[in-house]
Amino acid sequence: MSIPSENTIRIYVMGSAYEVPRGLTIMDAMEHAGWRFTRGAGCRSGFCGACSTVYRHEGDYRLRFVLACQTEAEDGMYLVQLPFTPAPRVSYTLAALNPDENVLLQHYPEIARCVSCNTCTKACPQDIEVMDYVQAALRGDIAQTASLSFDCIQCGLCSMRCPADIKHYHMAQMARRVYGRYMSPITEHLEERIVEIEKGVYAEEVDALVKMTRGELEEIYAARVVE
Amino acid sequence: MNNTAYFPGCSLKAEASDYERSAAAVMEALGQPLEELERWTCCGTVYSLTDDDLMHQLASVRNLIRAQECGAEEIVTLCSMCFNTLKRSKVFIEQDAARLETVNAFMDEEPDYEGGIEVFHLLEILRDQVGFESIEGRVTRPLSGLRVAPYYGCTLLRPREIGIDEPDTPMILQDFIRTLWATPVEFAFQAECCGTYQIVDTPEMVLEKSHRILSSAMRAGAEVMVTSCPLCMHNLRLCYEELRSSLPEKRELSIVYWTQLAAIAFEVETGELPASMDKLLEGLPTSMELVR
């Protein structure tokens, strides 16, 4: 495919060709082409995971996976948006769990179907070692699962690609919750601060803030000392 | 040992942590500490018997690549099942250049597996590289008179081309037991299957098979049974608890990992032992008592 002009590129959305200006993100390019996102768009800043996009370059056999709001549109991209991942999430009461090494396997038993094909990792727009955290979960290493999956934005592409139908991102979210509830070290200063608040140490200061006008608040905000 | 990477496997990090703790302590005592493979994944169990099912070889081959990446020449396992899966997969994939090529092409995010990483069980390393005689020299608390049944199960021995000893007449565990000054107690079902993963779907069948193994060893006079497989351990201990009253002898049988037996004889970290084992050991002098 020849480039239509120096300043434009050709992209394909749902099979139709569009000529759009060069230098836009995939999301901006699609909007420029007249598409309106009713789903599959959220924070537009790379944090929410709503705009997971699958594309293929003309002439390339490989599917690629990105966030539409974070990736520049390129000439010859065949694009498809995935507005929703139909992955079931298990319900549980965090405080009532037995956080032993089998807790993840018990709630998401399909992780035992992992054959280490690594397709999940290749599908991750966040460059997370997805298979490695599934493997850590499989051997009951909750801390490692939580740590390796920390940058997950829950876009669901891993689960859409997995030949073993694992729900990686929901399982990892559970691991992070279990880690936070049962394993992460208690921060002493937070405990101390809660006691102070309950004793009413800051009550007077908060009351004064509540009574201030917007102008007064803006003034003290501008004058605040930043550590 | 040669340049060897230790492959733990998932069970060793969970239910079978006593196996790992005792093995680590024993190897430390022999001056050959275990060095854990980096970024290992599940071995790929259960080994796929389908010839054209390369997808189920990926896990094993990926671990062989991890060993290759860190410059290791061989992988050593403690779990019999991991040993079996990794070694069979290695043999299968190296047999046929086309298979290796397909697997390497699929895993294009990894360096190609070049072949040649050897897979051993720790028992083999001790027999063939370290030598049982140097183990004997390290024993500080000889287990004299302790009657120990060697339970092999399936995956250490079969199929023949990957087994660590003769599948029908294995001797390696008996020799190892003698090295610790204990007495091996041979029994008819020492290489019989415990029932393995059938524990999930047909536990009654597993209990029946395990019951046969336990009764056979107890009738032969065993006080201790050693195994090298976390799954056999699970099934045998479960059977022992559930069917205790129907087992032949009044005497107790302590089922432990073979490395725990060595750890006792070396007087190093054993991991948790069954209460019945503690009772047996009360009768055995420690090194301090021997010195006196």
Taking any CB pair shorter than 8 Å as contact, residues of chain A touching chain B are 101-102, 114-118, 121-122, 131-132, 135, 138-141, 163
Looking at the structure, tell me whether residues B95 and B151 fall in a common domain: no
Q: How many domains does chain A contain in total?
A: 3
Q: What is the ipTM of this complex?
A: 0.90
Give contacts of A114 with chain B, Cβ < 8 Å. Answer: 42, 59
pLDDT higher than threshold 60 for residue B107: yes
For residue A197, the enclosing domain spans: 188-222
List alpha helices for chain A, DSSP H.
26-32, 103-107, 119-123, 130-138, 142-148, 157-161, 168-178, 188-199, 203-211, 214-222
Nearest CA in chain A to B9: A139
Question: Considering the domain boundaries, does residue A75 fall inside one?
Answer: yes
- Dihedral sign for Cα A31, A36, A41, A43, please: positive
Q: Look at residues B224, B11, B86, B42 and name the one whose alpha carbon lies nearest to residue A114.
A: B42
State pLDDT tens for residues B137-177. 999 999 999 999 999 999 999 999 999 999 999 999 999 99
* CATH of residue A104: 1.10.1060.10
Give contacts of B59 with chain A, Cβ < 8 Å. Answer: 114-116
Give contacts of A163 with chain B, Cβ < 8 Å. Answer: 55
Tokens of A52: 């997971």
Question: Considering the domain boundaries, does residue A3 fall inside one?
Answer: no
Among A79-88, B40-49, B218-227, where is mean pLDDT lowest? A79-88
Looking at the structure, tell me whether residues A37 and A62 fall in a common domain: yes
Looking at the structure, tell me whether residues A112 and A138 fall in a common domain: yes
| Mutation target among B7, B13, B17, B41 for the A interface, most CBs of A within 10 A | B41
Mark yes or no for CB contact B42/A102 under 8 Å: no
d(C-alpha B168, C-alpha B156), whole Å: 12
Q: What is residue B94's three-state secondary structure?
A: helix
Looking at the structure, tell me whether residues A65 and A112 fall in a common domain: no
Question: Considering the domain boundaries, does residue A102 fall inside one?
Answer: yes
Q: Which of B13, B59, B106 lies closest to A141 in CB terms?
A: B13
Looking at the structure, tell me whether residues B116 and B247 fall in a common domain: no
Mark yes or no for CB contact A115/B107 under 8 Å: no
Rounded to a whole number of angstroms, the distance from the CA of A169 to the nearest CA of chain B is 19
Q: How many domains does chain B contain in total?
A: 2
Q: How does pLDDT run along chain A (227 residues), one tens digit per residue?
A: 455 678 999 999 989 999 999 999 999 999 999 999 998 899 999 999 899 999 999 999 999 999 999 999 999 999 998 878 899 999 999 999 999 999 999 999 999 999 999 999 999 999 999 999 999 999 999 999 999 999 999 999 999 999 999 999 999 999 999 999 999 998 999 999 999 999 999 999 999 999 999 999 999 999 999 87
Looking at the structure, tell me whether residues B169 and B248 fall in a common domain: yes
**A171 within 8 A of A79, measured Cβ to Cβ:** no
Strand bridging mode B74-77 / B4-7: parallel
**B203 within 8 A of B287, measured Cβ to Cβ:** no
pLDDT band at B288 (very low <50, low <70, confident <90, very high): confident
Looking at the structure, tell me whether residues A75 and A144 fall in a common domain: no
Question: Considering the domain boundaries, does residue A178 fall inside one?
Answer: yes
Mark yes or no for CB contact A114/B107 under 8 Å: no
pLDDT higher than threshold 80 for residue B290: no
Mark yes or no for CB contact B106/A117 under 8 Å: yes
Average pLDDT over residues B202-220: 96
Ramachandran category for residue A70: left, alpha or beta (phi over 0 → left; psi -120 to 50 → alpha): alpha
Rounded to a whole number of angstroms, the distance from the CA of B106 to the nearest CA of chain A is 8
Nearest CA in chain B to A141: B13
Q: Which of B9, B14, B107 lies closest to A118 in CB terms?
A: B107
Q: Which of B123, B148, B175 delimits the end of a domain?
A: B123
Looking at the structure, tell me whether residues A161 and A198 fall in a common domain: no
Mark yes or no for CB contact A117/B58 under 8 Å: yes
Question: Considering the domain boundaries, does residue A18 fall inside one?
Answer: yes
Looking at the structure, tell me whether residues B170 and B246 fall in a common domain: yes
d(C-alpha B116, C-alpha B124), whole Å: 18
| Cis preceding linkage at A4, omega within 30 | no
Looking at the structure, tell me whether residues B214 and B90 fall in a common domain: no
Looking at the structure, tell me whether residues B172 and B259 fall in a common domain: yes
Q: Look at residues B247, B256, B249, B246 and name the one whose alpha carbon lies nearest to residue B276.
A: B256
Looking at the structure, tell me whether residues A134 and A156 fall in a common domain: yes
Looking at the structure, tell me whether residues A179 and A205 fall in a common domain: no
Q: Which of B9, B14, B59 lies closest to A116 in CB terms?
A: B59
* CATH of residue B16: 1.20.1050.140
Looking at the structure, tell me whether residues B12 and B119 fall in a common domain: yes
| Mutation target among A64, A113, A115, A165 for the B interface, most CBs of B within 10 A | A115
State pLDDT tens for residues B227-270. 999 999 999 999 999 998 888 767 899 999 999 999 999 999 99
pLDDT higher than threshold 60 for residue B58: yes
Rounded to a whole number of angstroms, the distance from the CA of A123 to the nearest CA of chain B is 12
| Mutation target among A64, A139, A148, A161 for the B interface, most CBs of B within 10 A | A139
Angle between helices B258-266 and B17-29 (to 10 degrees): 40
Model pLDDT, residue B226: 98
**B63 within 8 A of B75, measured Cβ to Cβ:** yes
Question: Considering the domain boundaries, does residue A53 fall inside one?
Answer: yes
Ramachandran category for residue B118: left, alpha or beta (phi over 0 → left; psi -120 to 50 → alpha): beta
* CATH of residue B160: 3.40.50.11810
Looking at the structure, tell me whether residues A57 and A119 fall in a common domain: no
Give contacts of A128 with chain B, Cβ < 8 Å. Answer: none
CB pairs under 8 A between A and B: 42
Q: Which of B71, B95, B123 delimits the end of a domain?
A: B123
Nearest CA in chain A to B46: A115
Q: Which of A48, A81, A114 delimits the end of a domain?
A: A81
Looking at the structure, tell me whether residues B18 and B113 fall in a common domain: yes
Looking at the structure, tell me whether residues B170 and B116 fall in a common domain: no
Q: Which of B56, B59, B109 lies closest to A122 in CB terms?
A: B109
Question: Considering the domain boundaries, does residue A88 fall inside one?
Answer: no
For residue B18, the enclosing domain spans: 4-123
Rounded to a whole number of angstroms, the distance from the CA of B10 to the nearest CA of chain A is 4
Mark yes or no for CB contact B13/A140 under 8 Å: yes
Q: In one letter, which amino acid is B147?
A: R
Looking at the structure, tell me whether residues A99 and A179 fall in a common domain: yes
Question: Considering the domain boundaries, does residue A227 fall inside one?
Answer: no
Mark yes or no for CB contact A116/B58 under 8 Å: yes
Looking at the structure, tell me whether residues B202 and B85 fall in a common domain: no
d(C-alpha B225, C-alpha B252), whole Å: 11
Q: Which of B88, B123, B158 delimits the end of a domain?
A: B123
Mark yes or no for CB contact B10/A140 under 8 Å: yes
pLDDT band at B23 (very low <50, low <70, confident <90, very high): very high
Mark yes or no for CB contact A122/B59 under 8 Å: no
pLDDT higher than threshold 70 for residue B118: yes
d(C-alpha A130, C-alpha A149), whole Å: 7
Spatial strand order of the sheet with B224-227 comes to: B183-184, B147-150, B224-227, B254-257
Q: Which of B13, B58, B109 lies closest to A115 in CB terms?
A: B58
Looking at the structure, tell me whether residues B153 and B191 fall in a common domain: yes
Looking at the structure, tell me whether residues B117 and B9 fall in a common domain: yes
Looking at the structure, tell me whether residues A68 and A102 fall in a common domain: no
Rounded to a whole number of angstroms, the distance from the CA of A87 to the nearest CA of chain B is 23
